[in-house]
Amino acid sequence: MSSTNRGYERHKTDYYVTPTQEISRFLIACKQYMPEVLNYQRIHDPCAGGDVAHGMSYPIALRQIMGGDVVITSSDIREDSLADNKGVDFLRADIKAQLFITNPPFYLAQEIIEKANNQVEHGGAVVMLLRLNFWGSQKRKTWLLKNMPTACFIHSKRMSFTEDGKTDSIEYAHFVWLKGESVEFTKTYLI
């Protein structure tokens, strides 16, 4: 998802560790502006990541902000992930939840959003960390106009997805879709 090291040829399935503190920043803002998103008890992270050196960012942040009572399950297509269900391709899985929340591989983002929106329970939510330029695509324009997110929480501070703390040239936002809600305009929050 990162555009750091522009001379480096990145493989589309490269793994990036999502900064937990930025997820927490989003969750705190979400608690203030959309508290219903943090009331769900069955949460699933379909691209959970994690490895021997890093925990799974979303489950860690969710437990810090929501407390220990919440049930968070996880899956990841990577076999070396820390997910509950390793080697699971979310696009082919049948997983139900009240909230799907993750940082999807950008090249599969729309497909993962569509799948999550189909699998999430009515009244539930889908939250995805995406490049802000997800909006800027002729290819996605028609789809976005029919599937407008309810809210977009734009991170004003650039995120670092690397051990050295360096940031890239991309801005990120948490996009929120509420199942059963059709909106003409997306509420925008700067965090």
pLDDT tens for each residue of 20-55:
888 999 999 999 999 999 889 899 999 988 877 778
Q: What is the pLDDT of residue 91?
A: 95
Does residue 152 contact residue 187 with C-beta atoms inside 8 Å? yes
**What global pTM score does this model have?**
0.86
- Residue ranges and CATH numbers for the domains of the chain are 20-190 (3.40.50.150)
**Confidence at 106, pLDDT banded by 50, 70, 90:** confident
**Confidence at 3, pLDDT banded by 50, 70, 90:** very low
Q: How far is Cα 134 from Cα 141, in angstroms, rounded to an integer?
A: 10
Q: What is the DSSP letter of 6?
A: T
Give 86-125 as a DSSP string.
Answer: ET--GGG----EEEEEE---GGGHHHHHHHHHHHEEEEEE
Least confident of 11-25, 43-57, 143-157: 11-25
Structure-model confidence comparison of residues 178 and 16, the more confident one = 178
Q: How far is Cα 126 from Cα 178, in angstroms, rounded to an integer?
A: 7
